[in-house]
Amino acid sequence: EEVKEAKELVKKGYKHRLRVKGSPDFKQKVRAALKLVKTAGYYDFLRKYIKRVVEIDGFTQLRESEASIWANKYAVANPVDAASLFIQKANHMKEYLEGKLYYGGEAERRSVEKRIEFLESLKRKSRKREVKEECERLLKSWSESVFL
């Protein structure tokens, strides 16, 4: 029932007011990543599907029932990589709401493709040389991945 309601809200254009919970250092790093998400033009996409980014000590994961990304400090250490991770998790949430299989082989490939699409967009739109170089490094890394 909740999934149906969330799907309807998304269809009508609803966007969450994105919240960040955690230590001051964590919040600062997440905000840096969110700035890159905005630069790439994906902020509305992220806010459609994600409500919160929460600092945890465990494994980084999407919490579908909360529309939250639980992330550890290592996941947000690199703002470019963190930004692409957030988009990947938002894509998982999108597929979850659409009733698609959002985990496993084929779903993982689709979410990695979304992450790569994001990195390519950020590389094109950013004016910062170091951001462009990091996008290039990550794109090269993903191109060598077993997911593609």
Backbone angles phi, psi at 61, to 5 degrees: -160, 160
What are 88-138's pLDDT values in tens digits?
Answer: 999 999 999 888 876 778 888 898 899 999 999 999 999 999 999 999 999
What is the average pLDDT value for the chain, to the nearest integer?
92
Residue-wise burial string across 114-135, b where 16 or more C-beta atoms lie within 10 A, e elsewhere: bbbebbebbbeebeeeebbebb
Mean pLDDT confidence for 70-97: 96
* Whether pTM exceeds 0.85: yes
The yes-or-no verdict on residue 40 having pLDDT over 70 is: yes
Confidence (pLDDT) at 25: 98
